[in-house]
Amino acid sequence: MKIYCLFLFIIFSINFIFGQARLFSTESQIKSEFSEMNFKSGYLNDGARYISFSNKDIWVAYSFNKDGLCDFCSVKPKTQGLINATVERFNKQYVIISDREWKFYSDKGIMYINLEFVDQKAIFHYYTK
């Protein structure tokens, strides 16, 4: 029973992680969709606006281009299980570029995904070019 509950938790968490990359969305669309989250906001060194939130499973940040559309998203899972499950799902659903890079083709363009390790923490970056 414990294994089943853990499995359901991981599946739910993975779906939550995949639902986070809202490239081409506006800040208000993201905040409206995730209205239960407590967002922080500010500006990056290059002047781009960003918003972020976290919960017990992940930390997510979005940055916006000059047109106000999200063009970069970072997702930091907080458990090893979520990291491995995310990579496994990417390998099944997206074009594999390397062991840390994927591409997703859609009618809105190409989404690039890479996995970076910063201070021994995994961060997935979603972006367009």
Q: Which pair of structure tokens corresponds to residue 18?
A: 């995949």
Is residue 123 situated within a structural domain? no
Q: Let me know: does 60 contact 39? Beta carbons within 8 Å.
A: no
Q: What total of structural domains would you count in the chain?
A: 1
**Could you give the strand order of the β-sheet that contains 58-64, starting from the edge strand earlier in sequence?**
40-43, 49-54, 58-64, 70-77, 121-127, 109-118, 101-106, 95-98
> Which structural domain range is residue 70 located in?
2-92
Is residue 81 situated within a structural domain? yes
Q: Which pair of structure tokens corresponds to residue 12?
A: 């739910």
Is residue 113 situated within a structural domain? no
Q: Structure pTM?
A: 0.80
C-alpha angle with apex 44: 59 to 26, nearest 5 degrees? 70
Is residue 50 situated within a structural domain? yes
Is residue 128 situated within a structural domain? no
Is residue 41 situated within a structural domain? yes
Is residue 33 situated within a structural domain? yes
Tens of pLDDT along the chain (129 residues)? 444 333 333 333 333 333 457 888 999 999 999 999 999 999 999 999 999 999 999 999 999 999 999 999 999 999 999 999 999 999 999 999 999 999 999 888 899 999 999 998 999 999 988
Bridge-based pairing of strands 58-64 and 95-98 is unpaired
pLDDT for 29-61, tens place per residue? 999 999 999 999 999 999 999 999 999 999 999
Phi-psi region of 3 (alpha: psi -120 to 50; beta: other; left: phi over 0): alpha
Phi-psi region of 37 (alpha: psi -120 to 50; beta: other; left: phi over 0): beta
Is residue 103 situated within a structural domain? no
Q: Let me know: does 42 contact 50? Beta carbons within 8 Å.
A: yes
